[in-house]
Structure formats: C-alpha cells, structure tokens
Structure 1
Amino acid sequence: MSLERPAAFAVDLRHLLGSFRGVYVVNAIVGFIFAASAPVAIILTASARGGLSQSDVESWLFGCFVVNGVISMIFCLAYRQPLVFFWTIPGTILVGQALDHLSLAEVVGAYFATGALMFVLGLSGWVRTCMSRLPMPIVMAMVAGVFLQFGLDLVFAIRDGVMIAAPMTVAFVALSAWARIGRLMPPLIGALIVGVAAIALSGTFDPQGLAALTVARPNLHMPAFSWAAMAELVLPLAITVLAAQNAQGFVILEAAGHKPPVNAVTAACGLGSLIAALFGTVSTCLTGPVNAIISSAGDRDRHYAAGVMVSLLALLFGLFAPVFTRVMLATPKVFIATLAGLALLRVLERAFVVSFSGAFTLGATVTFLVTVANVRIFSIGAPFWAVIVGLAVSWALERKDFDKLAAGQGR
C-alpha cells in the first residue's frame, strides 16, 4: 500500500477552538452555503428526471452530507489540512440521465463497483498513472456534452420565469464583474439571496407539504449488478471523481500551500462511495470549490479548522435532510434551474476550453456530439460510447497527439 500517513493523529483542541473565529468561520459558512445550495439543486433536478421518490431524495442527501461530513472531519483533523469531501456533480448528472433507463438498484450497483475501483486505485498508488493515460480534451468534451442541458435550462428559466431568474442572473454577473465586491459576497451566494428575495416578493413559494422538524430516516438500498449499468456508469463516474473533481481539489490546495495526500484521498473516496451507496448516494469526491473558499484567506495552519466547521454543518444538514429537501422542493422550478445553471456556467466554460483549445480537438468534437445526441446502444448510455468513439477517432486521425501525450509522460 502507498497511503500517505498523517504526522500524528492528535487533536489540538485549544488550537482548533482558537481557530473558530473571524475569517475561518465566515469562509466555512460561505463554503457550506455553496455546497448546500446549487449542488443540492443539481441533485433535485437529476432525481426529478430519474423519477425518484421524495424519500429516496432525502436518503440521497443524507448520504451526501453525513457520510462525507464524517470523512471530511476525520481527514481535516488527521492531516491538519482543509480536506472537505462531498459528491461528484458531473456524476450526479450522469446518474440523472441513466435513471431514465436503469433502475435505482442497478445504479446503486454501479456505485459499489465505482467505489471498489477507486479504493483499489488509492491503495495501489496507480491513480496518477491511470489518469495520465486518458486525454483530458476527450474526457472534458464528454463532461461538456453532459453539462450542456443545464446551461440551456438556465436560458429557458430566464424565458419562463423572468421575474426570478433574471434578477438572479444579473446579480451573479454583477458580482462576478466587480471582483472586490465579489470577494466579500461570492456571486453564487449573491444570486441565491436575490432569488430568495424575488420568490418572497412574487409569492411563488409553495409551503404545502412542509412538515415539522424531522430527523432523516435514510433508505437502505440493495444493489443489482447489471452489465449495462457497469459499462455505462462505472468508468465515467470514476473519471469524473478522479479527473474532474479530485484533480481540481488537489491543484487548489497545492496552490494554497498544502500537500494533499493524493492516494489516501482517493482511497477515502472509494470507501466513502461504498458506504454512501447504501443510501442511494452518488460517489464521493474531494470538493474543489469548497476547499478553495476555506483556504482562500487566513493562516495556512488554521485552514483545517474551517474544514471542521464545514463538516459539522454538513452533519447537521444531513440529519435534518427531510426538512431541507422539502424547503427546496417548495421553491419554484425556475429558481432551482437558475441556481444549478449559474453554478455550472464556469465549469461548462472550462470544459469547452480544455476540449477545443489544444490537442485531440477532432476526437473531442466527436465525443461532444455523441454525448449530446444521447443515443443508447445495447442499453448503455451515450457518455460511455462518446468517450470510446472519441478515443477511436483520435487514435485514427490524431495519432501525433497521442505521441505527444506519451512523450510528456516519459519526461
């Protein structure tokens, strides 16, 4: 095994509690609001497309926040770094599409297989080698094709619910344009606040179905293993976690002066995915945006305290998932669509830039088109075939790009 061991698992309670103040508290709250707003909206959108029941959604959110909250707290305390885990957003979208033709039990089976794969990769130390073999333009073209619908939904939300979606979008753009103000009020949080105000003024909040404060009673799901689900979901889910999510988190933490334990994090994502799968929850990943927020200011050796605070808030949210789920479901659909679309706007931009600004552009174009076409073959969804076809096209017509990729790995 090649797991990075922490220097010493000894909680310095005085140092930890002394960091529960000022910028660390603010960053923790902002980071958690980010995780509990737009990403949750994406889950609600994906689950609605998949026809999941409300109890299944509540169980999904319980796994997202409680399982990952526990893992985050352990890693933050053990490594004294801001190592916050949540769930893969691209994977959530993939699952929403897959639930059109796969049962929830089959999807849960794919979660188990993905978790086992990542756990083995983490223990073996093969993560960097495996990810370096896949051309990122082709992988990101698949991600762009999957995310495209969320960008279109943002446009449709402005068309269909202009009184709510338009002010949210204007707030997001304004805060993004004025960097100084945007640092004090993150654009997505500003859009969320404006959206809540617009809903209150328009009277479109539907309180029917809201209940008293209730604790989560998560469902336990037994997996069903099918070749169709394995082929369609396992590799794309593992790619989104390792290449799209964890890689982003590693770069962000390294830029802040931390040294994230790559293999241990990968193994934890695998183990977390195996546990979360019991509750019907999509695969665990190291979150990039939240870790970026909590490591953006203050002393580096106190950033982990903000991660601990995020973990505590996640546990609270997960335990009362039924309440928060019903509140979100009571809001207008255009609010959810706008929040999700704005959250993924930069990600969609980055996916296009990575896909079409350098090598493997023809393979990336084909991958994007096959993904958007969303044609299933042998009951296997389009994202899997998109990557396969894109790789085949690049191998046949862009062989020089593969040679350059191999040469870069040899250095």
Structure 2
Amino acid sequence: MIEKGTGLASGIRDFFRDLNISNVSTGLIPPFLMSLGLFAVTIEVISSTGISPEQVQAWVIAIHVVGPIIGIILSLYYKNPIAGAYSIPGMFVAVGAFEFYNINQVFGAALIAGILVLILGLTGWIKRAVSYIPMPILMAMVAGVLFKWGMGIVDAFNDNHLLIVIGLLGYVFFRRVFPKIPAVLGTFIFGAVAAGFMKMYQPIGAFNFSPTTPLFCMPEFSLGAFFSVSIPLAILVIGAENMQAIAILKGLGFKPPINAMTIISGIGGVVASLFGGHNGNIAGPLTAVAASEEGGPVEKRYVSAVFCNVVLILFGTFAAVVMSLLDLLPAPLISLVIGLVMLSIISGALETAFATKKFRVGTFFSLIIAISGVSIFQIGAPFWAVVIGCIMSFFVEPGDFQVNKEVESL
C-alpha cells in the first residue's frame, strides 16, 4: 500500500554527503523569493476573515510548518525532491466559508477534508486513477499551471527594463562561465547589486524576531461546511496540488510515492486544522523548483527539497521578520528569478506533452485551461485541465487511450 523507500536513516545519513552549491542554492533562493511574494497575499486574505491577530498568526504558522514537515519526511525517506506547503486555492475556499460558518466549523470541515484525503490514500484509489491519465495531458497541465510564473519575467521587464536586463546578463554570465553553479544565482547577485546602485531598496524598521505562536483550535462539525469546505478542499489537495507534484516528478524521471504522498497529505490536513490552518500538503510549484535541473545531479535533488521545506518553516515561525523583508527586495527581481527557475520545468513539460501525436486535442485543452487559471465550483484550473483534457481525448481521439502500466509498477 505505502511505497517502500530508502528509509529516513539513509536519507539523513546521505544528506550531508550529497550537499553541493547547486542543490543548496536552488533550495534556498527561489523558494525564499516565491514564498516572499505570496506571503503578503496570504496574510491579507486570512486577515479579511475578521479573526483575531493571534488566530491569523496561528493560521500562518500552521500552514507554513505542517506541510514542509511532511515534505522533509518524504524527501529524506524516498530521496525524491518533494516540497510541502499549503493549497492557495484551498485558502480562498476556507476564507470564503467564514461568511457562513464560525472559525471552529471551518477548521472542523478542514479536518474532515484531511480525513477524506487520508482514506483515499489508504485505499490506493488515487494511484490507480493516475494510471489512467495520459502523460501528455498531465504534463500540459503542469506547463500551463507554471506558465504564469514564466510570464512574470515579461511583467517584471515592463516594470523595470534595466534591472531585468542586468539580471539576465547575470544569468548568461554564470551559465557560460560557471556552468556547474545555478545560473539563477548569477541573476540574483547581479540584480541585487544593480538594485542597490539604483537605490531601489526601501528603509525598513527594526526586525521583530519574536516567533509566531501556534494555537489549538477545537473543531466543530457542520453538514453545510462539509459540502462547502471539506469536499472542495479534499479535491484541491488531490486533484491540483498533489497531481501537479506527481506529474512534475514523473516527467523528470522520478518515481513519486503516490500513495504515501496522498496519505501524508491527509495527515497533514488533519494536524494543520487542529492548529488553525486549512491544510498541509504537497506543493506543486515548490516541488518543481526543488526538482529542476538547477538543483544539480538528479539523485541529489532531494537536498534542494529539504532546504525548500526549511525555508517555509522559517517563514511561518518568524512571520514578523518576513513582513519586514516584503518591503526590502524589489518585486521585479523576485519575478525574474522565479521565472528563470521555471524555465527548464515548463520547457520540459511542453516537450513531453507534445512529443507524441497522441492525445493532441486533450493536451491542447489541458494546456489552455491550466494557463487560464479558471475556477469552477471553487475548484481550481489544474483539476479541470486534467478532467476536461481527458474528456476531450476520450470523445475525439478514443483510440489513443491505454492504461499507463508504468505508474502501476511504482
């Protein structure tokens, strides 16, 4: 039922041996910038519920600690680059429910969502379902979902031409002169120095290093909240977040532990809800960063994921410091670094998606739906991209379907 891995002891023992500049920098810089960019949105959205500042802080630490902890466990146990975080669409589902339910009912529904995910993982149904999804459709979804991060480079260029050009020069310079070092490190160094000369850094006050305090949240259960929160949240965790990570890892040649990823995401959802968070699960975009070629040798990229998860834990633990940093780093530089990290993942996903003439119609629909970011019934684009892509292929190109035996052997 639960896939066998190399074991935690092996992962911990080999972790320090496998450290290198590529997997350390990939696990620290891009995740830091990605998380920094999303942190303000997360705080603002959660605060809109009207709950107390203490409850906002508890929510923040729950979602930034539980998911990364399960990511560290999976990364070390399976030596796969797996990052944990929280569902951003799921956060909007939970926040929207505050209009009709109190905080205890919302997180009671989140707890039920975690139990649903856990049950589906224990039955092995998710692993079997994935075996029926054509790889081109799956990888088109991945490319589409990550496309917005790549497009961030264009938006950043519109905001500050000179800074982006200098950052790109750093990328080219490191790629040509230091091929064994991630080129995005050159982008960050060149861009950070240029931003200093351009006086783009804003003065900030004293840092508050007081750690965020977790709170226990007593769950209450409501039938309405079950349908409004539990079911959509469970679908998002399985159909969007975990599905992205699984597809990314498969596309890069890893053997993702599908059952284990589902089971531990369910456990993460249960634990996070008890401490005032909506869930803790596998993160698609952050897994893409950790698994990218910027992380160096394939067998050592799990190290990137461990550092990536640690970054998120620090974000949640020292939320006040992070809020100060939000005013420090130039937004265009953040967008440029993230977009360049996604380059290899997006191009690789597109190459896999359109490498064969099979499932062309379904692959196309999967790609454009994922790019659109459309949400139907409060369920995000990744889920609908795969579902509608498969439906279109089933009716338009039914002869292309066959069970993916490779997944069944994982």
- After TM superposition, the score normalised by the length of structure 2 is 0.71
Q: 1:206 aligns with which of 177, 202, 206?
A: 202
Partner of 1:162: 161
How far residue 155 of structure 1 moved from its aligned partner, in angstroms, is: 0.3
Bigger mean CA offset, 55-64 vs 334-343: 55-64
Partner of 1:197: 193
Deviations along 1:246-288, whole A, 9 cap, x unmatched?
Answer: 454477685xxxx876543442233224334543456235936
**Inter-partner Cα distance in structure 1 for 2:367 and 2:73:** 39
Instruction: Please state whether the residue corresponding to 2:267 is helix, strand or coil.
Output: helix
Partner of 1:43: 38
**Inter-partner Cα distance in structure 2 for 1:73 and 1:410:** 25
Partner of 1:150: 149
The answer on whether the counterparts of 1:42 and 1:340 sit within 8 Å (CA) in structure 2 is no
The answer on whether the counterparts of 1:210 and 1:327 sit within 8 Å (CA) in structure 2 is no
Partner of 1:333: 331
Partner of 2:351: 353
1:213 partner amino acid: F
The answer on whether the counterparts of 2:117 and 2:234 sit within 8 Å (CA) in structure 1 is no
Deviations along 1:111-133, whole A, 9 cap, x unmatched?
Answer: 65664444234333444312112
How far residue 395 of structure 1 moved from its aligned partner, in angstroms, is: 1.7
**Inter-partner Cα distance in structure 2 for 1:365 and 1:297:** 32
| Matched residue count | 391
**Inter-partner Cα distance in structure 2 for 1:47 and 1:393:** 35
1:24 paired with 2:19, answer yes
How far residue 40 of structure 1 moved from its aligned partner, in angstroms, is: 1.2
Mark the CA change 1:137 to 1:109 in structure 2 (over 3 Å): closer, same or farther: farther
The answer on whether the counterparts of 2:118 and 2:262 sit within 8 Å (CA) in structure 1 is yes
Bigger mean CA offset, 32-41 vs 157-166: 32-41
1:237 partner amino acid: V
1:183 partner amino acid: K
Deviations along 1:43-87, whole A, 9 cap, x unmatched?
Answer: 348648x7454979976763455324544555567x4x5456433
Bigger mean CA offset, 205-214 vs 389-398: 205-214
1:401 partner amino acid: D
Deviations along 1:131-158, whole A, 9 cap, x unmatched?
Answer: 1122333344344443333333320211
How far residue 389 of structure 1 moved from its aligned partner, in angstroms, is: 3.2
Q: 2:180 aligns with which of 178, 183, 187?
A: 183
Mark the CA change 1:239 to 1:273 in structure 2 (over 3 Å): closer, same or farther: same
**Inter-partner Cα distance in structure 2 for 1:410 and 1:84:** 21
Mark the CA change 1:112 to 1:316 in structure 2 (over 3 Å): closer, same or farther: same
**Inter-partner Cα distance in structure 1 for 2:74 and 2:407:** 30
**Inter-partner Cα distance in structure 2 for 1:7 and 1:375:** 39
**Inter-partner Cα distance in structure 2 for 1:107 and 1:169:** 45
The answer on whether the counterparts of 1:46 and 1:95 sit within 8 Å (CA) in structure 2 is no
Q: How does 1:56-205 map to 2 (within 5 A)?
A: 62-63=61-62, 65-72=64-71, 74=73, 79=77, 82=79, 85-87=82-84, 92=88, 94=89, 115-176=114-175, 178=176, 181-184=178-181, 186-205=182-201
**Inter-partner Cα distance in structure 2 for 1:338 and 1:391:** 33
Q: 1:274 aligns with which of 248, 260, 270?
A: 270
CA RMSD of aligned residues (A): 4.8
2:393 partner amino acid: S
Structure 2 gap ranges (5+): none
Instruction: Please state whether the residue corresponding to 2:334 is helix, strand or coil.
Output: helix
The answer on whether the counterparts of 1:71 and 1:85 sit within 8 Å (CA) in structure 2 is no
Instruction: Please state whether the residue corresponding to 1:182 is helix, strand or coil.
Output: coil
What percentage of residue pairs aligned between the two structures are identical? 24
Instruction: Please state whether the residue corresponding to 2:19 is helix, strand or coil.
Output: helix
**Inter-partner Cα distance in structure 2 for 1:354 and 1:377:** 27
1:86 partner amino acid: A
**Inter-partner Cα distance in structure 1 for 2:167 and 2:109:** 36
**Inter-partner Cα distance in structure 2 for 1:360 and 1:12:** 38
Mark the CA change 1:306 to 1:199 in structure 2 (over 3 Å): closer, same or farther: closer
- After TM superposition, the score normalised by the length of structure 1 is 0.71
Mark the CA change 1:152 to 1:220 in structure 2 (over 3 Å): closer, same or farther: farther
Mark the CA change 1:281 to 1:171 in structure 2 (over 3 Å): closer, same or farther: farther
Q: How does 1:172-321 map to 2 (within 5 A)?
A: 172-176=171-175, 178=176, 181-184=178-181, 186-208=182-204, 211-218=207-214, 225=225, 227=227, 234-249=234-249, 263-276=259-272, 278-280=276-278, 283-285=281-283, 287=287, 289-290=289-290, 296=296, 315-321=313-319
